[in-house]
Structure 1
């Protein structure tokens, strides 16, 4: 498999280009990694088997896998900033074990379905060859979310504008949120968004064993509560799925105080939100406040097919439904593809033993939702795998 563009020539991004042996689809796939990772981990899995790049190549897709700004070979001046003591967040092996590779073996964190996690190769613990192969490719997270999102949005739009045809954006974690930001800026350059467990829930952080000021818990599962962004000291995703502005109609509320302008007022809500009870999930979440005005719409995302893909044994099974609810409220056509718990997949499902089967299920979704359009080009669909359940 050839890799081109060895120089960071696309808005400061090191770009890996993976051409298939036979091109069958006009729309290229762009893989977007999450924090603490790089575009390298789409290529080869920790057990040495080929990753999703190979699966999509074998199905006739042109694939790109950038190192997003401040990550991997796109670190640039970010490394110098960290050396000067500016923000950097460490990624620890303890966190990786407990939340990603071996949550079923660690007693500190639990969520519904975690005990069924079986698809990570090896033990998922330090000292295991597959864990070590995975962890040595991780890195510190440089700078804050606003800086990272702003730079990545500009870089991705610049890159998408160089492509002949609209791209399919496949993002994992924060990479999924960046897909929304890029598509919001250049909707005509995006054919579809596949969000693999985007960072969430909207307007909030999902935390374990925490309480609200009135002493009650807002539960996503028996172990998870949601702390909204307008609480003192909390600032996350004030635009629902991003920390920087998205284009809503009507527009977000402007700042009204100097604190808001300086982004020091954690209670400032550009998109007013309230706590609501979701009848389908039978749990609470935060959505736009509809008590005075209809919800604002993400007009640039409304014509782009979207799906959110959630693993049954991942912590995201506790709250991805809230991100789906937020997008639907904003008028975005999104489908929720939920892996059955019995599949045994965790949050790094695209690196796990059955990852090729899961990739084919996503390709089936693409075939049914965008590639069947005459303007987009599609040949020879693969057989159905039945791996994912659609809960629109």
Structure 2
């Protein structure tokens, strides 16, 4: 039987890699689709003719490996200034956590937060935005060892490249950052609405959050406790009630770990019902960290007490200073938290963007996947 040339040519292109691609990892065979959820039609700003635009929607990327062997998909939510591309591959072209976890048999859902990147920001509807400059990204994420803003930063060794502008790996990473809503309260409200609808559509998930989106784990687990089966919080925003390390050390997250209300038992009518005190054992004024805890007996985060949670902290990131305080607050509030400091399991030199760093797959294997396998039955 003759095979048409038009059929053979795509195969030749598929299996004949250019020299620049021959050293790249093959990745995991999968099917990809995308969709949107959570949009609301609002009147077009500045008009009175009844025209409308969509706002509040979230872009969702769905990755399905050729062999799905796990019962629960993983929903990954990125942090401030970032997008779902964080988890696809690293800035230097290596496989990311999404690929690794697909190889382990998981379906993956990635989102861009509402009002960011492929989830459109609508002028006149959504709040003000700002973005990270290169100094912020280098000093906090890719090259903190060069800036010495916190003691542990000197231990940072795992970023690929030198982590500063002009290095092609840094430039690739920085180009991926996006303007984000200034208000974490507004972001939280929008994520709760849109991702809540996503959960209604796709069913139960393992929820993986990072940094700013850490509070969305608690919010979504509280909002949809039957659909959030576990939470993996990679350096979640904290500590409770106040900003830390970087001035101004202003009050934040009035509900402890979140900007917007979640359920407590006994119930609260406002954030002021949460009576707090300084935890001296976990406070370090010289490092810009005040740790607050609830006054005994602590109210329970009642909708989260049945959700197993993993909180991961790097050795060299700024969360090394205060994640213990976040864990203490969550634990006293009844959340079943396993806290893994990477150096305690033999993984050294990582910073806040650990899933992009040179040993990213070691973390995925030894910490994330290991905990999932021991927790999900």
Tell me the TM-score normalized by structure 1. Answer: 0.79
**What is the CA-CA distance between 1:89 and the residue it aligns to?**
2.2
- 1:326 alignment counterpart: 329
**What is the CA-CA distance between 1:326 and the residue it aligns to?**
0.4
In the alignment, is residue 340 of structure 1 matched against residue 343 of structure 2?
yes
Distance change (3 Å), C-alpha of 1:360 and 1:74: same
More helix by percentage: 2
| Conserved? CA contact 2:235–2:312, under 8 Å | yes
Count residues with an aligned counterpart: 325
| Conserved? CA contact 1:238–1:270, under 8 Å | no
User: How far apart in 2 are the matches of 1:270 and 1:243?
Assistant: 15
User: How far apart in 1 are the matches of 2:151 and 2:32?
Assistant: 39
In the alignment, is residue 9 of structure 1 matched against residue 37 of structure 2?
yes
- 1:213 alignment counterpart: none
Instruction: Name which of 239, 252, 258 aligns with 1:236.
Output: 252
**Partner secondary structure for residue 65 of structure 2:** coil
In the alignment, is residue 34 of structure 1 matched against residue 79 of structure 2?
yes
**What is the CA-CA distance between 1:111 and the residue it aligns to?**
2.2
Cα deviation, 1:2-51, whole Å, max 9, x if unaligned, reads: 3312x423451111001012001110000000011111221111001121
**Partner secondary structure for residue 53 of structure 1:** helix
Distance change (3 Å), C-alpha of 1:10 and 1:87: closer
Distance change (3 Å), C-alpha of 1:153 and 1:127: same
User: How far apart in 2 are the matches of 1:244 and 1:37?
Assistant: 21
Distance change (3 Å), C-alpha of 1:368 and 1:73: same
Instruction: Name which of 231, 234, 250 aligns with 2:266.
Output: 250
* Bigger Rg, structure 1 or 2: 2
Cα deviation, 1:101-157, whole Å, max 9, x if unaligned, reads: 0010124x1223x21211100000011011011010101112411111011011111
Cα deviation, 1:227-285, whole Å, max 9, x if unaligned, reads: 4xxxxxx441000110100100112243xxxxxxxxxxxxx734221112237999951
| Conserved? CA contact 2:282–2:291, under 8 Å | no
Return 7-16 or 27-36, whichever deviates more. 7-16
Cα deviation, 1:156-199, whole Å, max 9, x if unaligned, reads: 111111124x2000000111210110110010001100000001
Return 86-95 or 243-252, whichever deviates more. 86-95
- 1:132 alignment counterpart: 171
Instruction: Name which of 214, 217, 224 aligns with 1:179.
Output: 217
Please, which runs of 5 or more residues in structure 2 have no aligned partner?
1-29, 40-56
Distance change (3 Å), C-alpha of 1:280 and 1:151: closer
| Conserved? CA contact 1:67–1:73, under 8 Å | yes
Cα deviation, 1:199-225, whole Å, max 9, x if unaligned, reads: 111001103588xxxxxxxxxxxxxxx
| Conserved? CA contact 2:243–2:251, under 8 Å | no
In the alignment, is residue 287 of structure 1 matched against residue 290 of structure 2?
no
The residue correspondences of 1:41-80 to structure 2 (distance < 5 A) are 41-77=86-122, 79-80=123-124
**What is the CA-CA distance between 1:325 and the residue it aligns to?**
0.3
**What is the CA-CA distance between 1:333 and the residue it aligns to?**
0.5
User: How far apart in 2 are the matches of 1:278 and 1:332?
Assistant: 20
Distance change (3 Å), C-alpha of 1:270 and 1:126: farther
Distance change (3 Å), C-alpha of 1:301 and 1:132: same
**What is the CA-CA distance between 1:91 and the residue it aligns to?**
0.8
**Partner secondary structure for residue 269 of structure 1:** helix
| Conserved? CA contact 1:239–1:270, under 8 Å | no
